[in-house]
Amino acid sequence: MSRVVTVAAAQVGPVERDTPRSDVVGRLVAMLAEAAGRGADVVVYPELALTPFFPRWWFADGDPELAGFYDDEVPGPSTKVLFDEARRSGVAVCLGYAERDGPHHYNTSVLVAPDGEVVAKYRKVHVPGHEQHEPWRPFQHLERRYFEPGDGFRAHRALGGVVGLAICNDRRWPETYRVLALQGAEVILIGYNTPLHYPPDPGQDRLASFHNNLVMAAGAYQNGAWVVGVAKGGLEGGVHSLAETQVIAPSGEVVAKAVTEGDEVVVAACDLDLCDRYRRTLFDFDRYRMVEHYSLLTSQRGVVPPEPQPGVGPTRP
């Protein structure tokens, strides 16, 4: 049986603050139709695909504009036409959105089978940025005000293989890929919104593209997994964000990449059997990982040997 999954990475261009939700969903539907026409099994949209990246703005608690960015259910009323199209064309959907669950709020991604069943739901674990308004910044990054962290990474049987989800800042942390790969994940779907300017250290700005590929390619190679990174890119709300949506093979090689900063569908046929080429050789976890050594080291985190004291230690003749 073929283990080739055809993935469509649907990069989304800017979504402005006053763009009606129906317009955004219409753009996602158009990309889904293109993906289906190009033979996709799954279409992957970015983090917070239904809204602008609203953590760049400060809102007081209870602001109705802020409340309007969250969805209580996906698939739900505002995304019905997207999932109707998915059912009609037989394509699975991975979608990032702002989730409200009663009093709780998460930065969430769902993987939905063509029949509308939610096969995976993931709430972002590594929530970056800050909690309070910081007027010195040219724009805010208030994810830590608007979202709680999720409770962990889980691999799921889906798309004829094993699939894991992660969101944006998660991609910079090696644990994300390793925890998923230890559970058997063969393809890891990641959406992101990455401003090209990083106010706490502008010296990193010129490296945004390099770091984006560095972390995802390393995650792919060191874990023998496919990694699909999907951007919300371009100039949105006056903030320029990285595009460069890409599909990365278990070798760490980029096999398909976006060439614009706007709505663009990038398609790649991902052979899941390639994962074992790495997991049965260099990265045979069961054979070569030194788990007992790692736990010793992590239990000593922050413990450094004391400074040598004068007169103590080896003496010179």
Active site residues: 47, 124, 168
Residues interacting with ligand CDT, by CB under 6 A?
47, 128-129, 141, 168-169, 172, 192-194
CA torsion sign for 5, 90, 158, 215 is: positive
Mention every residue, 6+ apart, whose C-beta is less than 8 A from residue 38. 6, 8, 265, 267
- Terminal alpha carbon distance of the chain: 73
Identify the residue whose tokens are 């208030």. 142
Nearer of residues 108 and 169 to ligand CDT, judged by Cβ: 169
Nearer of residues 47 and 71 to ligand CDT, judged by Cβ: 47
- DSSP character for 56? G
Nearer of residues 141 and 257 to ligand CDT, judged by Cβ: 141
Nearer of residues 80 and 133 to ligand CDT, judged by Cβ: 133
Alpha-carbon 251 to chain mean position: 19
Radius of gyration of the chain (CA): 21
Smallest gap from Cβ 15 to ligand CDT, in A, equals 14
Q: What SS3 class is residue 206?
A: helix
Smallest gap from Cβ 46 to ligand CDT, in A, equals 9
Smallest gap from Cβ 47 to ligand CDT, in A, equals 6
Nearer of residues 129 and 219 to ligand CDT, judged by Cβ: 129
Q: Are 120 and 165 in contact (CB under 8 A)?
A: yes
Could you tell me where the DSSP H helices lie in the chain?
21-37, 64-67, 80-89, 143-146, 174-182, 208-223, 274-279, 285-288, 291-299
Smallest gap from Cβ 92 to ligand CDT, in A, equals 23
Dist CA 36 CA 17 (whole Å)? 29
Smallest gap from Cβ 40 to ligand CDT, in A, equals 25
Dist CA 296 CA 271 (whole Å)? 37
